[in-house]
Amino acid sequence: MVETEGTETQRSHRTGISTYRYYNLNRFNIFIHAKPPDEIATAVRKIVRAKVSKDRLADLSRIAERLSRKCQEKVTLRSGEDDFFAPLTTAIESLEFERSCCSNKTRWQMDLEPMNRGPLKYSCETSEVDDDLARPQKRQRQPATELSNAMSPRALPPRGGCYTLKIPFPDASIGIHIQYLIEAFSSRVSSTNRAKKFFDFLQDQVASGGHAALVFMPGASTGVAFPFAVVECKSYSSGRLYEAENQAAVAGACALKIQLDLDSLANNEITSSSNTQPPLFFSVTTQGSIYQLWSHWTTVDECGEYSFKSKPVLSCDVLFEKQATKFMVMLHNVFEWGTGPFMTSIVDRLLEVEKNIGSC
């Protein structure tokens, strides 16, 4: 076999993304193709396999047919990532979930990065650690002065060390539209001004280290709040689905961290024996017409250390209309969950945060 410079470059790239997955991601407790606990698997199935009405199924079938046809056109041409991303963008827009917001090509904030455990050395059997930020603390009620200057124990990851994460820059960031989130909160507190003041407080209040009390919008001025899904798209000829999975896993960990930070401010303790549903997140990774839908979740061990894990829920080729329809039904259900039960749970926890502040 004759190896060209391009061959060596491709081999080096594959080695690089493999090393990134098994060393960098693992140092941040991010694990791909993990086995979910039974309660997580049940919750995910309940979301993605929810039944849709006959009328809605007919709509989704038409969307899937257009997606399949457009992808068929792309695979016969020399199409790049953006060319393959366009049909999926159109399909997402066709779902018409008004309370959702989708922002394309948004670089996420660095403050969302989970904690790097690489340079830290501690054991759950000892009460001493190398860094005060390393050990998660019990989420106890705090005075208002402390609450306004506090984030979760993992909110300020130590910089440095040989392992780093690439800042998420998804092809699409999908979450709750900030306008509708504020409206939902306003309806619960019966005051629009009160709601706006509270959201301004969360974003503007300076916490220890110069960070906002809660970073819940991954990108500035995008309208996306509390993201519940991302899309990472690669071209048909790139062979980079593996890299898309890496990117989605990091974005998933960052999005889950937002929910953990919210839980911390709401004093909503999650333990290995807790009845509280751990945070969930979804992602779509594609390579040409090959589509994958992933679920992401968190676990916490007996030492109180969080891990961020993911597993594919569906893998299909949307060139086949039946497979495309199945994908669109599941994606529709993710949006239904994100703008329904997930949004409600976010508002519930935000109300707890405001209650904690106001009662102190």
Report strand pairing: 306-317 vs 290-300: antiparallel
Least confident of 81-90, 116-125, 347-356: 116-125
- For residue 175, is pLDDT > 60? yes
Q: Which residue has the higher pLDDT, 231 or 156?
A: 231
Residue 174 is predicted with a pLDDT of 98
The answer to whether 233 touches 85, Cβ cutoff 8 Å, is yes
Name the percent of the chain lying above pLDDT 70: 76
The residue among 248 and 1 whose pLDDT is bigger is: 248
Mean pLDDT to the nearest integer, 212-234 = 90
Instruction: List pLDDT tens digits, range 258-302.
Output: 999 999 888 854 444 444 567 999 999 999 999 999 999 999 888
Q: What is the pLDDT of residue 277?
A: 62
Per the CB < 8 A criterion, the answer to whether 202 and 354 are in contact is: no
pLDDT of residue 211: 61
d(CA 207, CA 210): 6
Which of 246, 219, 253, 255 lies closest to 108, judged by CA?
A: 219
Q: What is the pLDDT of residue 116?
A: 53
Q: What is the mean pLDDT of the chain?
A: 82
The rounded distance, in Å, linking the Cα atoms of 106 and 97 is 20
pLDDT value at position 123?
40
Least confident range from 64-73, 137-146, 214-223, 331-340: namely 137-146
Position 208 confidence tier, pLDDT thresholds 50, 70, 90? very low
| DSSP one-letter string for 311-343 | EEEEEEETTSHHHHHHHHHHHHHHHHHHTTHHH
**Residue 169: partners with Cβ closer than 8 Å, 6 or more residues away:** 105, 106, 107, 108, 247
**How many angstroms separate the Cα of 218 from the Cα of each of 25, 162, 317, 341, 353?**
20, 25, 30, 21, 20
Between residues 327 and 124, the one the model is more confident about = 327
- Phi and psi dihedrals of 155, rounded to 5? -80, -20
Q: Report how far residue 143's alpha carbon sits from residue 92's, in angstroms, rounded to the nearest whole number.
A: 44
pLDDT in tens, 315-348: 999 999 999 999 999 999 999 999 999 999 999 9
For residues 192-202, average pLDDT: 88
Q: Give this prediction's pTM.
A: 0.82
The yes-or-no verdict on residue 100 having pLDDT over 80 is: yes
User: CA 254 to CA 260: how far, in whole Å?
Assistant: 10
What pLDDT, on a 0 to 100 scale, did the predictor assign at position 2? 38
pLDDT tens per residue across span 27-73: 999 999 999 999 999 999 999 999 999 999 999 999 999 999 999 99
Cα–Cα dist 142/187, whole Å: 27
- Statement: residue 122 has pLDDT above 80: no
Dihedral of the CA atoms 167, 173, 178, 180 (nearest 10)?
A: -160
